[in-house]
Amino acid sequence: MKTALVNLFRATFGRAPEIMARAPGRIEFIGNHTDYNGGTVLGAAIDRGVWVAVAPREDGQRRFASDQRAGVVAVSWGNLDKRSGAESWVNYPLGVVAALPAFGLRAPAGFDYLAMSDLPTGAGLSSSAAIELASGLAFLAMTRQEPSRETLVKVGQHAENQFVGVPCGILDQGVSGFGRKDHLVFIDCRGPTFATVPLPAGAHFWIFNTHTKHALVDGLYAARHRECMAAAQTLGVGQLVDVSPAEVWAAEARLSPGAFKRARHIVEEIARVTATQDALRAGDLAAVGNLLTASHRSSQTLFENSTAELDFLVETLGATPHVFGARLTGGGFGGAVMALTSAKFGAAQADAVAAAYAVKFGARPDVLHTQTGDGAALVAV
């Protein structure tokens, strides 16, 4: 990847890059939509991600290229307008440029910029957080600033919330920033505070990307966000993390049926994250798997962010030997299912699941056997 990045940078800009950075994609392990409710969540950085190479320019122009799109997008200095259409991918790095001053950091002046990815986009693996963090690291190195990792993570989230316009929580950027091979990242989103948790030996991840995406996915995510905030307000708290499952049940009559279901999902999911930590500590992958599947059921019936395609994969995987558990990973409304398996689950089993899916839905999901990986870092040029 590194050689390809340097070669494409040279081919695009006619010179060598001066700084390079890489940030991983992530799996949401458990904790669905808990992050913006102040709850807890476990994720894993994976061994695929986004690479960014930059070199400063004297004329103040910011020139963006990507291996996923033809051409160069030139943005004149001082122009921080959102891009649209085929150029909208530039909103991630441009959003980072725009976010830096909000954290007392200097934005880079002109530069040539290239992004490359070996992370499937639209698969629920958060390529957007990966490009934000890799861009942030590269820009900060270019301007010789070294804020904390936590600040880098918050810059990425700020870019996503304020510039791209998605009201996401801290999960994606937090995991991409704090990931560690053979570990999960635990985030208490209220702080936020970040920690790593060892993953028991023998745990394997398989991703089944359905390539389906609800046409209204961004609007539906924002709608769930609003519903949770409204439920918290009815319950008299700032965030749903501040109520217990018993309190939600006691307030059933005061909540609309929809708000009751959303609130139940959040508080019960937070309890499942705690139970998962205990099961991980005990090395009990079967118990962890059951919690993952229970999380999916809750997304399906209470948070209502699953789809027929995701449900089918979770069912089919649940009936397949050597699978501990499976659930949708990420925002939902399409995207991907993650399965936690033993080493005995292999390509043949994954292929059978994909074939069954193809019979029902007419297209095969992409299958990815992925490993955990390290968090965002500069790469030696």
Binding site for ligand GLA (CB under 6 A): 28, 32-33, 35-36, 126, 168-169, 171-172, 330-331
DSSP string, 85-100: GGGGGGHHHHHHHHHG
Q: Name the strand (E) or helix (H) holding 379.
A: strand 377-379
Nearest residue (CB) to ligand GLA, 112 versus 172: 172
Question: Which of 264, 250, 259, 251 has its CA nearest to residue 294?
Answer: 264
Instruction: List all residues 6 or more positions away from 219 whose beta carbon is below 8 Å from its beta carbon.
Output: none
Least distance in angstroms from the C-beta of 207 to ligand GLA: 14
> What's the rounded Cα separation, in Å, for the pair 158 and 143?
19
- Options 118, 172, 182, 311, the catalytic residue: 172
Q: Residue 171 corresponds to which tokens in the numbers above?
A: 């999960």
Nearest residue (CB) to ligand GLA, 62 versus 224: 224
Least distance in angstroms from the C-beta of 294 to ligand GLA: 15
Least distance in angstroms from the C-beta of 88 to ligand GLA: 17
C-alpha R_g of the chain: 21
Nearest residue (CB) to ligand GLA, 20 versus 232: 232
Least distance in angstroms from the C-beta of 330 to ligand GLA: 4
Least distance in angstroms from the C-beta of 33 to ligand GLA: 4
DSSP string, 215-281: TTHHHHHHHHHHHHHHHHHHTTSSSGGGS-HHHHHHTGGGS-HHHHHHHHHHHHHHHHHHHHHHHHH
Question: For the range 277-284, what are the long-range contacts, defined as Cβ-Cβ under 8 Å and sequence gap of 24 or more?
Answer: 277/42, 277/186, 277/197, 280/184, 280/197, 280/198, 280/199, 280/200, 283/200
> What's the rounded Cα separation, in Å, for the pair 119 and 379?
17
Nearest residue (CB) to ligand GLA, 33 versus 272: 33
Least distance in angstroms from the C-beta of 9 to ligand GLA: 29
Q: Confirm whether 59 is a catalytic residue.
A: no
Nearest residue (CB) to ligand GLA, 42 versus 353: 42
62-66 and 69-75: which strand pairing? antiparallel
Nearest residue (CB) to ligand GLA, 36 versus 139: 36
How far apart, in Å, do the first and last CA atoms of the chain sit?
Answer: 12
Instruction: List all residues 6 or more positions away from 180 whose beta carbon is below 8 Å from its beta carbon.
Output: 45, 196, 372, 374, 375
Would you please indicate which residues are annotated as catalytic (active-site) residues? Answer: 172
